[in-house]
Amino acid sequence: MFVKVGKVVEGTVTGITHFGAFVQLPGGETGLVHISEVSDDYVNNIKDYLKKDQKVKVKILSVDKENKIRLSIRQANSKKSSKQPPKIDWNKGDKKQKRMSFEDKLSKFLRDSNEKQEQLKNRNSRRVSSFRGR
């Protein structure tokens, strides 16, 4: 089988080491899943996540000149479909705000921001004074 970078395939864990796991791909090739590519969480002990002969979905990250194949379980199972941030609808809002110039919007933002900062300062100063009163 031809190994294609970026492809997600199912493989079988054939060996586990302290630095990763070896996975046999459908065509018989074997690749390495580094411990950092097992899970989105911190992996201290890889044996908590994988067992020998376990079937796993892996993404082929790279194939070097020596035909060493780098794999990722984390990226194959990623819930994020893209690395793009969510789109923001800048046209959403009230009609009055849509007609405002950039300078007016900026001025309103600064006013609102200053008001919120004052509210936070007042709330924090009340907390400090009530704490000292104990």
What's the pTM? Answer: 0.57
CATH 2.40.50.140 fits domain 8-76: yes
H or E element at residue 102: helix 102-132
CA distances from 134 to 22, 45, 125, 128, 129 (A): 61, 47, 15, 10, 9
- pLDDT tens digit sequence for 1-19: 568 899 999 999 999 999 9
- pLDDT tens digit sequence for 51-107: 999 999 999 999 999 989 999 999 998 765 455 566 666 566 666 666 788 898 899
